[in-house]
Amino acid sequence: MADTRKYSSIVVDGTGKSPARAMLRAVGFNDADFQKPQIGIASTWSMVTPCNMHINQLADFACQGADEAGGKGVIFNTITISDGIANGTIGMKYSLVSREVIADSIEAVAGCQGFDGLIAIGGCDKNMPGCLIGLARLNRPAVFIYGGTIQPGAGHTDIVSVFEAVGQHARGDMTSAELQQVEKTAIPGAGSCGGMYTANTMASAIEALGMSLPNSSAQEAVSLSKTEDCRRAGAAVMYMLEHDIKPTDIMTRQAFENAITTLIALGGSTNAVLHMLAMAHAVDVELTLDDFARIGRQVPVLADLRPSGKYMMSELIAIGGIQPLMKDLLDRGLLHGDCLTVTGKTLAENLADVAPYPADQDIIRPFDQPIKKDSHLVILKGNLAPEGAVAKITGKEGLRFTGKARVFHSEEEAQQDILNGTVVKGDVIVIRYEGPKGGPGMREMLSPTSAVIGKGLGNEVALITDGRFSGGSHGFVVGHITPEAFDGGPIALIENGDQITIDAETAEITLHLSDSDIDKRRMAWKPIPPRYTRGLLAKYAHTVSSASEGAVTDKNL
């Protein structure tokens, strides 16, 4: 076998590298290990969140797999934060920022240490795009492993059940004791949030992209199948090293189209738009909001999964995961079957022997009975969002909403007025100065959207923001409005009582003001000063691009 130590040999070969070898002997290397390709294993293990609390064990299995396949696995850590814990607080400003920190740290460690191949294991939702961006920048043979989904809580509950219970309690429909019972039983152990929220959305999209092994997205966090997935990843990286298969060979424009098609059919999170744009940027693939709109016109929503549907990821796993759905999409000409994957085979080859779903299942609908005939991820444009916005509209909320603006300058202000009854039927809740720069960090609006649902206003109000939404959010919601308020976008000019229309069928979002009135308001508008002038949030706000460009931090350098 040819020497595949393209990077590690520079670090460990020769008399002059004796100090490096001495350091590595202290962490467990022996003489034979210096002749093996080094496989860096990026673990997002942390006791910060149940999404990641088991990943240290998964990293050990991945290391075993790399060693058994003839490599030398080296585990290192990167960070995670918990959206579920931070939502509704100023700490959530760090959530999207953590995607960049993860990408930067994987690039930094692997670039410094000279790893020849890489495995990255992610659990919580920012981990996944962060890992993929880091792997893409390095462009060395690499596999992503999903940490796996959580099992349902008592009574078919999950984290979103708890958020919505808060709203039910505020409405008077749930006692304090009942709320506490949901709190105590909804999260039974390790794994990512249980619906087709952002974590399961991104895991599914990455599998469809070809950067994880088949079925990696559809395994429970605590399961033998997930353990085996980790072991097999080591062998896969070694195969990729032998055949010089790199992320840029896999993450092509056609592969991104496959990922977008799959996540639409699954009814995935709006955050996927933001993350797919960022991942494409990392490999210099041209991808825009218009691509989501174009693909969305021909792909139906087929999965009846939470948050807007009935079922959880664990129930989809029980009937075969996403592979049978992808096989059906491929057979109907909606996927590019010739895209290369981390198995060394094409997508079509991976799917060739996949069996269909059981005949009696109702989680994945037939193509002639879709939940929605086209995408639920609706790209809106108009005088309120000239550079675009992303709506999550399944059709259950209706396809058009017109109402009067009720304006808030932060998530906290809006949350208070939703819970105390100030927000009423017919309102369009406007939450601004929460964009990538203005927040900074583009917080998710899970607390306000869950409060809206819990208060029984899910079909009665709309919510728009230059921030974003959790994958657990549902209702008539529009995020990622660009330009954001901090940059003087039209969302900054809205006043209480202005009429706003959101139309999913025409893909427009309209502020019912004349051009001259908008111009007058723009002349009178004054920018707000940056909220942070030191540290990570200040650096992020200074470098981040708009949401319509993926909110990346290296675009304008």
**Residue listed under structure tokens 């203005």:** 438
**Residue listed under structure tokens 């998710």:** 444
Q: CATH number of the domain at 8-151+189-351, please?
A: 3.40.50.2300
Helix (H, G, I), strand (E, B) or coil at 363: coil
Count of other CB atoms within 10 angstroms of residue 496: 11
Q: Whole-number mean pLDDT of the chain?
A: 96
Q: Please name which of 345, 375, 239 lies closest in space to residue 337, comparing C-alpha atoms.
A: 345
Question: According to CATH, where is 3.50.30.80 located in the chain?
Answer: 377-549
Count of other CB atoms within 10 angstroms of residue 345: 14
The mean pLDDT value for 409-415 works out to 95
Sequence ranges of the binding site for [2Fe-2S] cluster: 51
Catalytic residue among 212, 217, 470, 548: 470
Cα 393 to chain centroid, rounded: 18
Q: Please name which of 18, 140, 117, 132 lies closest in space to residue 71, comparing C-alpha atoms.
A: 117
- Residue 210: pLDDT band by 50, 70, 90 thresholds? very high
Q: Please name which of 375, 75, 327, 357 lies closest in space to residue 214, comparing C-alpha atoms.
A: 327
Name every residue whose Cβ is closer than 8 Å to that of residue 187 and which is 6 or more positions away in sequence: 50, 150, 153, 158, 159, 162
Q: Please name which of 108, 115, 106, 110 lies closest in space to residue 44, comparing C-alpha atoms.
A: 106
Distance CA 503, CA 301 (A): 18
The mean pLDDT value for 93-97 works out to 98
Count of other CB atoms within 10 angstroms of residue 394: 18
Sequence ranges of the binding site for Mg(2+): 83, 125-126, 444
Cβ atoms of 415 and 88 within 8 Å: the answer is yes
- Strands 385-392 and 377-382, by their bridges, are antiparallel
- Which tokens go with 212? 């994880």
- Which tokens go with 219? 């395994």
Instruction: Assess whether pLDDT exceeds 70 at residue 536.
Output: yes
pLDDT at 308: 87
- Residue 170: pLDDT band by 50, 70, 90 thresholds? confident
Q: Which CATH class is domain 377-549?
A: alpha beta
pLDDT at 472: 82
Distance CA 427, CA 519 (A): 24
Chain segment 350-403, per-residue pLDDT in tens: 999 999 999 999 999 999 999 999 999 999 999 999 999 999 888 777 899 999
Strand order in the sheet with 117-122: 72-77, 38-43, 117-122, 142-146
C-alpha Rg value of the chain to the nearest Å = 23
Chain segment 281-300, per-residue pLDDT in tens: 999 999 999 999 999 999 99
Bridge partners of 74, per DSSP, are 40
- Residue 475: pLDDT band by 50, 70, 90 thresholds? confident
Chain segment 495-513, per-residue pLDDT in tens: 999 999 999 999 999 999 9
pLDDT at 473: 86
- Residue 182: pLDDT band by 50, 70, 90 thresholds? very high
Cβ atoms of 100 and 553 within 8 Å: the answer is yes
Instruction: Assess whether pLDDT exceeds 70 at residue 525.
Output: yes
pLDDT at 1: 56
Cβ atoms of 547 and 274 within 8 Å: the answer is yes
Whole-number percent of the chain with pLDDT over 90:
94
Between CA 164 and CA 384, with CA 100 as vertex, the angle to 5 degrees is: 60
Name every residue whose Cβ is closer than 8 Å to that of residue 442 and which is 6 or more positions away in sequence: 96, 274, 434, 435, 436, 466, 467, 468, 547, 551
Question: According to CATH, where is 3.40.50.2300 located in the chain?
Answer: 8-151+189-351
Q: What is the end-to-end Cα distance of the chain in Å, rounded? A: 41
Cα 184 to chain centroid, rounded: 26
Cβ atoms of 51 and 191 within 8 Å: the answer is yes
Sequence ranges of the binding site: 51, 83, 125-126, 444
Whether the bond between 490 and the residue before it is cis, its omega within 30 degrees of 0, is no
- Strands 400-408 and 385-392, by their bridges, are unpaired
pLDDT at 378: 96
pLDDT at 474: 82
pLDDT at 296: 98
Note if 470 is an active site residue: yes
Q: What is the DSSP letter of 463?
A: E
Q: Please name which of 98, 61, 100 lies closest in space to residue 82, comparing C-alpha atoms.
A: 98
Question: What is the torsion angle, in degrees rounded to the nearest 10, for the CA atoms of residue 470, residue 273, residue 544 and residue 282?
Answer: 130
pLDDT at 551: 98
Instruction: Assess whether pLDDT exceeds 90 at residue 171.
Output: no
pLDDT at 86: 93
For 348-360, give the DSSP string. Answer: HHHHTTPPPPPTT
